[in-house]
Amino acid sequence: MKYLVTGAAGFIGYHVVRKLLEQGQEVTGADNINNYYDPQLKFARLAQCGIERGEAESGELTGSKTYSSYRFLKVSLEHKDRLFKLFDEERPDIVIHLAAQAGVRYSLQHPEAYIRSNIEGFLNILEGCRAFPVQHLVFASSSSVYGLNRAMPFSEHSTVDHPVSLYAATKKANELMAHSYSHLFGIPSTGLRFFTVYGPWGRPDMALFIFTRSILNGEPIEVFNNGEMARDFTYIDDITEGILRIAELPPAGRDDWDPEHPDPAFSTAPYRIFNIGNNSPVRLLDFVHALEKELGKKATLLYRPMQPGDVPGTWADVSDLEAVTGYRPRTSVEEGVHRFVRWYLEYFKPA
C-alpha cells in the first residue's frame, strides 16, 4: 500500500509516519509547517524521519535521508492545485488525513483559521480522493464533537449536534462532508474521534506540556472548573495503533442501516465513525499528581472557573473499535506520563 499522511510534521502525524516507515510501507508526508506553535519542534520531528530542514522548507517533494520509501512536501491544504499535483504524482492507496488547525481556545480568537484549514482544506482532500480514487480515506475527528452531551461513556451511536467551540463544529462538519462524498462518489471514509492525546513529541499548547514546563520552572498551574475536570487521556502509541489498524479496514455500506432510526456511526454509504480513547477517564488533579511524582516536584495550583468552549469531562466508549479491529488502548496514565517526562527531559534538557 502507498500512504499519504497529511500533518506529517505534527504530533500524531509524525508518530503515524514513523510507524509506517518502520513497517516498510511507502509513505508521502505533507505539512505546511505553520507557526501555530514553535516550528522548530516540527522540523525536529521531520528530522527523526530523515527529512532535513532546508529541504523541508524548499516546497519541493524531497526524499528522506534515512528511509528510501519516504518523501515529504511542504504544502497547505488550501492550495488545491499543489495538493492535486501531489495526488496525481503520488497516487496514494490510503490517505490518512491528520492536518488541521487544532486548539479549542485558539478558535475563540482566530475563527477564520479553522474555516480555511478544517473546512476549505478538508474539501480539497475530499476532492483529491474523488479525482484520484483511493481505497480508504481515514481522517481525524475529535472527542470535542460531543459538546454538551453528558451521557457517558460517549458513544458514536449518539447524536452530536451541540458543539461548544468552532473547532468542534468544524470537526463535526468534516464528518458530514465525508459522509456526503462517501454517499455520492463511493469514497470509503472513516472518521476517528481522538480523546486527549498525549505523549512524547506532543504539542506545546496541550496540558501535559504546559504542566511539565510550569512545574520545572516553579510557575503556577491554572486548573479550570475549580479542579472538577476529567479527561480520557490517551497515549500516542495507542492512537497510532488504532489509526493503522483502521486504515487497513475500509468500510462498506451496511444494509441494516435504518433511515427511520438513523445511526450516526455508519450508513448505507461506505462510511464509519470510531472513538479512539483509553476508556478510563482520569481526574485532571490525578494527572497532575502523576506528573509531580515523575518530576519529583510539587505543583502550585491556581483554581479557575470553566473556560469558554471547554467541557467538564470526556470518556470514550471503544467497544466498536475493539469489535472491528480486536484492539483497544491500554497504556495507563502512570506509564504514559513516565514515557513523556523521560522524552521531555532528554529533548529540552532543563537545568
Residue 151 vs residues 117, 147, 158, 209: alpha-carbon distances, Å: 31, 11, 9, 29
Say what the pLDDT of residue 103 is: 87
Query: Annotated catalytic, 14?
Result: no
Amino acid at 85: K
Say what the pLDDT of residue 134 is: 98
Residue 4 vs residues 7, 94, 237, 325: alpha-carbon distances, Å: 10, 6, 19, 21
CA 341 to chain centre: 21
**Predicted confidence (pLDDT) per residue in 267-292, tens digit:** 999 999 999 999 999 999 999 999 99
Phi, psi of 94 (to 5 degrees): -130, 130
Domains of the chain: 100-196+235-278+316-330 (3.40.50.720)
Report angle CA 162, 165, 171 to the nearest 5 degrees. 75
Average pLDDT, the chain: 96
Report angle CA 179, 185, 189 to the nearest 5 degrees. 40
Which residues of the chain fall below pLDDT 70?
none
**Predicted confidence (pLDDT) per residue in 41-79, tens digit:** 999 999 999 999 999 999 999 999 999 999 999 999 999
Q: DSSP string covering 96-128, please?
A: EE------TTHHHH-HHHHIIIIIIHHHHHHHH
C-alpha cell at 169: 463544529
Cα separation, 269 vs 250, in Å, equals 12
Say what the pLDDT of residue 85 is: 97
Q: DSSP string covering 241-280, please?
A: HHHHHHHT------TT--TTS--TTB-SSSEEEEEES-S-
Amino acid at 52: E
Distance spanning both ends of the chain, measured CA to CA: 45
Peptide bond before residue 92 is cis, with ω within 30 degrees of 0: no
- Alpha-helical runs (H) found in the chain: 11-22, 39-48, 53-56, 80-90, 106-109, 111-114, 121-131, 166-185, 207-216, 236-247, 284-295, 319-325, 333-348
Beta partners for residue 4, in sequence order: 28, 95
Say what the pLDDT of residue 264 is: 97
Q: Catalytic residue, from 167, 181, 235, 344: name it.
A: 167
